[in-house]
Amino acid sequence: MIKEAESRLKAKQINPTAMRLLVLEFLTKQSAAISLNDLEKGMAPSDRITLYRTLKTFEEKGLVHSIEDGSGATKYALCDEDCDAENHHDLHVHFYCNNCRETFCLPNTSIPEMALPEGFKQQEMNLIIKGVCKVCNSIA
């Protein structure tokens, strides 16, 4: 697992420090996007600033993408392999569960193309669907 993580970081031109390897390993084990707070709790007693900088480096290099799901906390999820520092190819729907408050990437559900009025230039796009996830739905 460490060798795979190291290779993945090097492929994105990220220096594979011990902390970066640990954060990447932690992120790969997640089934949903996580906030800095969640990462901090899961990796206690790690330093919050170091974790934040690691996430920002990962985002800048195309290893993770950030999600604004309306919960008030930015969440992070691993990117597709073809993302890079210049272009994130994560134009997919995100799903926020109102019950468990988890945010899920739905990579096989793409965001429909939008026609903007003349003079508007798209820089990024984010589509959040809110409802009840399949786990919570099966419990209810």
Mean pLDDT by 10 residues, the chain (140 residues): 86 93 95 94 92 95 91 90 70 91 89 89 85 89
The answer to whether 133 is a known ligand-binding residue is: yes
CA dihedral of residues 33, 36, 37, 43 (deg, nearest 10): 90
The answer to whether 83 is a known ligand-binding residue is: no
Domains defined for the chain, CATH in brackets: 2-139 (1.10.10.10)
The answer to whether 70 and 128 are in contact (CB under 8 A) is: yes
Alpha carbons 115 and 136: distance in angstroms, whole number: 35
The answer to whether 79 is a known ligand-binding residue is: no
